[in-house]
C-alpha cells in the first residue's frame, strides 16, 4: 500500500470527503431545525388565532 | 438467500472500505432524501391534498400546509423503514441496487433510526396540529406499509401488492380527517380507486422486471402464476377500475369535467390493459407493459388533478341528474 494512494485522514480518522459530507449533513440538519422552529411558530399563531388578543387582563 | 446476503455485505463493505470507518456516517444529504422515496412522497402529497380539498370543511392554510408536510414526512418515513427492511433484496435487483443501503452509503442502523424518528415525529406533529384521528390514520398507514406489507406480505404471497396497496390508498382519508376530524364516503371512494389501481400498475412493471423479482425471491404474480394469468388479472382489475373512476361524479363530488376526464382517460387505460393482454411475446409485449405502467400514473394524476382543479379553479359543474 503506497502512501501516495492512501487518503489522508485527520486525528478523528476522517478524510476530506468525509468532512465535506459531515458538513453537508450538519448544514441540512440546521436548516431542517430552523424550518421546524419557524413552522411551530406559525402553527402556534394560526391555532391561537386573533382571539388571543381579546382576553381579560 | 446466502447469495443475497453476501452481495449486500460485499457492497456495504466496499462502501465502508472506500470511505471512513464504520462508526462514521458515509451518507450524503441526498442519500437521506433518497431513503424517503421522493416520488412516492409526491404521490402521497398529491392524493392527501385531494382528500383535503374535497373534504366538507375548511382548514387554516398554515395548518393545512403543516398537515400535508406531516403526511409527506410520515410517508417518507415508511419508505425509509421499507428500504431498511428490504436492503437484502434491493441488493440483487437492478432497479434498486443503487439505493443508499445496498450501495453501502448509509448503514442499516442509520436508516432504521431515521425512519423511526420521522415516523414518531410526523404522527405526533399531525396529532398536535390537526387531530388524533388523522394522526392515528397516518400511524396505521406507516405500520401497514412498513410491517404488514414490507415485513409480512411482500415475501409471502403474490397478493402482496393487492393487500399492500391499501397503504398507498390511505392518504386522501388522512387529508380529509385532518380537515374535518372524520372520514366520509367521498374519500372512501378515492381510497378504493387507488386500491384497485395499484395491482395493474405494479403488475405491468412486474411483467417486465420478473427476472429481478425472481432473483430476489419476491413472489410477484408473474413469477408465481405466470405472465398469462398476470395479464388476465391486469385486465380484470382495469375493468373494475375504469367504472370506479367515474364514481366521484356519480356520487356528486366530481363534476362534469371530472366525468369527461375519467371517461376518456379510463377508456385509454382499458386500451393499454387490452394491449398488455393481447401482446404476449417480444418487444411489443414489453412496450405494451411499459405503456400501461406509464399511463397508469398519468391516469391517476388526471383523476386527482381534475378533482383539485374543479374546486380550486371554480370549474365544478354538477352533472345533471347525478350525485348530490
Residue B70 CB-half CA count within 13 A = 32
Question: Does the beta carbon of A42 lie under 8 angstroms from any beta carbon of chain B?
Answer: yes
Within a 10 A sphere around the Cβ of B94, how many other Cβ atoms? Answer: 10
Distances (CA, A) of A12 to A29, B41, B103, B107, B139: 21, 37, 24, 19, 40
**Out of B13-17, B99-103, B122-126, B159-163, which region has the weakest mean confidence (pLDDT)?**
B13-17
Q: Examine the pLDDT at A4 and tell me if it is beyond 90.
A: no
Question: Does the beta carbon of A8 lie under 8 angstroms from any beta carbon of chain B?
Answer: no
CA separation for the pair A33, A25 (Å, rounded): 12
pLDDT tens-digit readout, B47-79: 999 999 999 999 999 999 999 999 999 999 999
Cβ–Cβ below 8 Å for B27 and A25: yes
Residue B210 confidence (pLDDT): 87
Which residue from B20, B28, B29 is facing A13, i.e. has the nearest CB? B20
Q: Residue A22: list chain B partners with CB under 8 A.
A: 24-25
Confidence band (pLDDT; 50, 70, 90) for B225? very high
pLDDT tens-digit readout, B72-116: 999 999 999 999 999 999 999 988 999 999 999 999 999 999 999
Q: Which of B86, B80, B83 is nearest to B121 (CA)?
A: B80
Q: Examine the pLDDT at B320 and tell me if it is beyond 70.
A: yes
What percent of chain B has a predicted confidence (pLDDT) above 90?
82
Which residue from B20, B62, B129 is facing A18, i.e. has the nearest CB? B20
Question: Which grid coordinates belong to B289?
Answer: 407493459
Q: Which of B310, B193, B314 is nearest to B246 (CA)?
A: B193
The residue of B36, B58, B62 whose CB has the most chain A CBs within 10 angstroms, and thus the best one to mutate to test that interface, is B62
CA separation for the pair B67, B319 (Å, rounded): 32
Distances (CA, A) of B317 to B111, B250, B261: 47, 13, 13
Question: Which grid coordinates belong to A56?
Answer: 381579560
Which residue from B20, B29, B60 is facing A24, i.e. has the nearest CB? B29
Question: Which grid coordinates belong to B68?
Answer: 400535508
Which residue of chain A has the CA closest to B26? A18
Q: Residue A17: list chain B partners with CB under 8 A.
A: 19
CA separation for the pair B111, A40 (Å, rounded): 26
Which residue from A13, A28, A43 is facing B21, i.e. has the nearest CB? A13
The label of the residue with cell 465535506 reads: A20
pLDDT tens-digit readout, B165-224: 899 999 999 999 999 999 999 999 999 999 999 999 999 999 998 888 888 889 999 999
The label of the residue with cell 476522517 reads: A14
Residue B185 confidence (pLDDT): 96
Confidence band (pLDDT; 50, 70, 90) for B324? low
**Out of B22-26, B71-75, B99-103, B242-246, which region has the weakest mean confidence (pLDDT)?**
B22-26
pLDDT tens-digit readout, B281-292: 889 999 999 999
Which residue of chain B has the CA closest to A29? B29
Question: Does the beta carbon of A37 lie under 8 angstroms from any beta carbon of chain B?
Answer: no
Cβ–Cβ below 8 Å for A42 and B19: no
Residue A15 confidence (pLDDT): 86
Question: Does the beta carbon of B20 lie under 8 angstroms from any beta carbon of chain A?
Answer: yes
- What sign does the dihedral B25-B38-B179-B191 (CA atoms) show? negative
**Cβ neighbours of residue B215 under 8 Å, at least 6 residues apart?**
B92, B93
Residue B234 CB-half CA count within 13 A = 32
Which of B1 and B224 is assigned the larger pLDDT?
A: B224
**Cβ neighbours of residue B151 under 8 Å, at least 6 residues apart?**
B85
Question: Which grid coordinates belong to A4?
Answer: 501516495
CA separation for the pair B301, B43 (Å, rounded): 8
Q: Which helix (H) or strand (E) holds B43?
A: helix B38-54
Which residue from B26, B69, B129 is facing A21, i.e. has the nearest CB? B26
Q: Examine the pLDDT at A20 and tell me if it is beyond 60.
A: yes
Q: Residue A42: list chain B partners with CB under 8 A.
A: 62, 66
Instruction: Judge whether B32 and B106 are in contact, CB under 8 Å.
Output: yes
Query: How far A9 CA sits from the closest chain B CA (Å)?
Result: 9
Q: Examine the pLDDT at B310 and tell me if it is beyond 70.
A: yes
Cβ–Cβ below 8 Å for B129 and A43: yes
**What's the N-to-C CA distance of chain B in angstroms?**
56
Amino acid at each position: 500500500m503506497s502512501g501516495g494512494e492512501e487518503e489522508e485522514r485527520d486525528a478523528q480518522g476522517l478524510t476530506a470527503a468525509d468532512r465535506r459530507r459531515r458538513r453537508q449533513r450538519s448544514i441540512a440538519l440546521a436548516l431542517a431545525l430552523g424550518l421546524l422552529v419557524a413552522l411551530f411558530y406559525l402553527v402556534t399563531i394560526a391555532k391561537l388565532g386573533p382571539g388571543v388578543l381579546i382576553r381579560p387582563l | 438467500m446466502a447469495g443475497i446476503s453476501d452481495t449486500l455485505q460485499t457492497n456495504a463493505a466496499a462502501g465502508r472500505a472506500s470511505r471512513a470507518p464504520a462508526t462514521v456516517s458515509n451518507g450524503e444529504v441526498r442519500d437521506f432524501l433518497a431513503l424517503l422515496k421522493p416520488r412516492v412522497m409526491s404521490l402521497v402529497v398529491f392524493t392527501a391534498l385531494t382528500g383535503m380539498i374535497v373534504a366538507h370543511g375548511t382548514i387554516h392554510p398554515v395548518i393545512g400546509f403543516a398537515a400535508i408536510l406531516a403526511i409527506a414526512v410520515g410517508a417518507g418515513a415508511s419508505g425509509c423503514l421499507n428500504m431498511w427492511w428490504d436492503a437484502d433484496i434491493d441488493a440483487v435487483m437492478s432497479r434498486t441496487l443503487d439505493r443508499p443501503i445496498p450501495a453501502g452509503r448509509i448503514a442499516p442502523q442509520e436508516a432504521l433510526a431515521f425512519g423511526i424518528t420521522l415516523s414518531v415525529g410526523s404522527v405526533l406533529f399531525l396529532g398536535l396540529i390537526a387531530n388524533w384521528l388523522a394522526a392515528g390514520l397516518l400511524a396505521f398507514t406507516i405500520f401497514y406499509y412498513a410491517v404488514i406489507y414490507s415485513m409480512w406480505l411482500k415475501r409471502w404471497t403474490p397478493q402482496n401488492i393487492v393487500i399492500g396497496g391499501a397503504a398507498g390508498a390511505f392518504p386522501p382519508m388522512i387529508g380529509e380527517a385532518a380537515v374535518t376530524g372524520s372520514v366520509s364516503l367521498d374519500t372512501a371512494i378515492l381510497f378504493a380507486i387507488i386500491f384497485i389501481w395499484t395491482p395493474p400498475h405494479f403488475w405491468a412493471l412486474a411483467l417486465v422486471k420478473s427476472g429481478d423479482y425472481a432473483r430476489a425471491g419476491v413472489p410477484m404474480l408473474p413469477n408465481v402464476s405466470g405472465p398469462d394469468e398476470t395479464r388476465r388479472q391486469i385486465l380484470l382489475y382495469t375493468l373494475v377500475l375504469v367504472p370506479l373512476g367515474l364514481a366521484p361524479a356519480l356520487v356528486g363530488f366530481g363534476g362534469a369535467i371530472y366525468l369527461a376526464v375519467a371517461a376518456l382517460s379510463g377508456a385509454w387505460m382499458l386500451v393499454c390493459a387490452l394491449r398488455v393482454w393481447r401482446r404476449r411475446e417480444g418487444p411489443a409485449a414489453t412496450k405494451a407493459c411499459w405503456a400501461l405502467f406509464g399511463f397508469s400514473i398519468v391516469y391517476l394524476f388526471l383523476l386527482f388533478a381534475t378533482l383539485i382543479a374543479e374546486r380550486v379553479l371554480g370549474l365544478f359543474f354538477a352533472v345533471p341528474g347525478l350525485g348530490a
